[in-house]
Amino acid sequence: MFIGHFAVGFAAKRVAPRLSLAALFAAVALADIIWPFLLVLGIEQVRIDPGNTAFTPLDFVSYPYSHSLVFLVLWGIVFGSLCAWSVHDRQVMPIAAVLVVSHWVLDWITHRPDMPLYPGSIKLGLGLWNSVAATIAVEVPIFAWGVWIYARATRARDASGRWAFLAFVAFLLLAYLADIGSPPPGVNALVAVGIAGTGVLVLWAWWFDRHRIPVV
């Protein structure tokens, strides 16, 4: 999933109002934040294979350290501990950890069987991406649900909090639809867009979330 991960991050603001939306997004996208760096190091592998599924042209050959269930549990514990330390609240630790692990669950739903439980394990996946229509029918409502919860859990305190939030939502939807089935020019371009794009989105979320107030 893509916007499905962001939906979970949006919705989590209701249960973890002390955490910045940027931290919540970093949690749900942590697997994809780590992954490009492991590709650069040659530790994990991806192949551009148009037609691999109807929704994406990527063949995720090997990514046991960024995307396996066991490693995401470990990454979740580490990330959750950092979040708890940053806001001086131990209660946010399990929330952030679960958000990290949620990435595996959503990818298991959408990916063909390429999601490992642990390095060297069998690979699982329900293959929702084999149908573009089914993927959109599932993921867009989930995204709308997450955005709705965030909008109800916070309120804008100025124009930036209102319009930057709406622009972010619109951008994600447009990028999501534009990317369907479009192969990147190469793995290096994929890595660059992955690192830069995720960084920009997290910073954007940090900015508009600062201009919104949690509704108690």
pLDDT values of the chain reduced to their tens digit, one per residue, 216 residues:
689 999 999 999 999 999 999 999 999 999 999 999 999 999 999 999 998 999 999 999 999 999 999 999 999 999 999 999 999 999 999 999 999 999 999 999 999 999 999 999 999 999 999 999 999 999 999 999 999 999 999 999 999 999 999 999 999 999 999 888 888 889 999 999 999 999 999 999 999 999 999 997
Query: Is pTM beyond 0.85 here?
Result: yes
Write out the two tokens for 15: 């249960």
Comparing C-alpha atoms, which of 102, 90, 87, 88 is closest to residue 26? 102
Measured distance CA(167)–CA(200) in Å, rounded: 13
Q: What is the predicted pLDDT for the residue at 19?
A: 96
Write out the two tokens for 184: 């990147």
Amino acid type, 24? L
Please state the domain extents for the chain: 3-214
Measured distance CA(17)–CA(22) in Å, rounded: 12
Q: What is the predicted pLDDT for the residue at 181?
A: 81
Q: What is the predicted pLDDT for the residue at 1?
A: 64
3-state DSSP call for residue 32? helix
